[in-house]
Amino acid sequence: MDGLMDAIEKLGVPVVVCGASMYFIWKQTQFMQKFFMEDIQESQSRLENIIVTLISKQKELEQKTLVELADMRSSYESLVEIMHSLTSNGFKVSRRKKED
C-alpha cells in the first residue's frame, strides 16, 4: 500500500490510474485470447473429426457402389447371354409360328 501511495505522490493520480487501466486491459486481453484460442481449437478439432468421418463414409459408399455396379453388370451380361441363347435356339421361329 505504501508503494501505491508513493507512486501517486511521485507521478500523480492520472498517471497511476492510466497505468492501472493499462494493466487491466492487458490482463483482460490475455484472458480473452486464451479463452477464444481454446474455443477455436476445440471447434477445429470437431471440424477435423467431421471431415474425416465424411471422407471415410464417402469411400465406403463409393466401394459399395462399385460392388453393386459390378453385380448389376454381371446380371445384365447373364440376361444378355440368356436372350442370345434363346434367340439362337429358335425362340423367334417358334414364336412366329404361334402368331401365324
Q: What percent of the chain lies above the pLDDT cut of 70?
A: 87
Q: What angle do CA 41, 44, 47 make, to 5 degrees?
A: 155
Specify whether the CB–CB gap between 16 and 4 falls below 8 A: yes
DSSP state of 1: -
Q: What pTM did the predictor assign?
A: 0.49
pLDDT digits (tens, 9 = 90+) for 34-53: 999 999 999 999 999 999 99
pLDDT of residue 85: 81
Range of the domain at 23: 2-99
How many domains does one find in the chain?
A: 1
CA atoms lying within 13 Å on the CB side of residue 42: 6
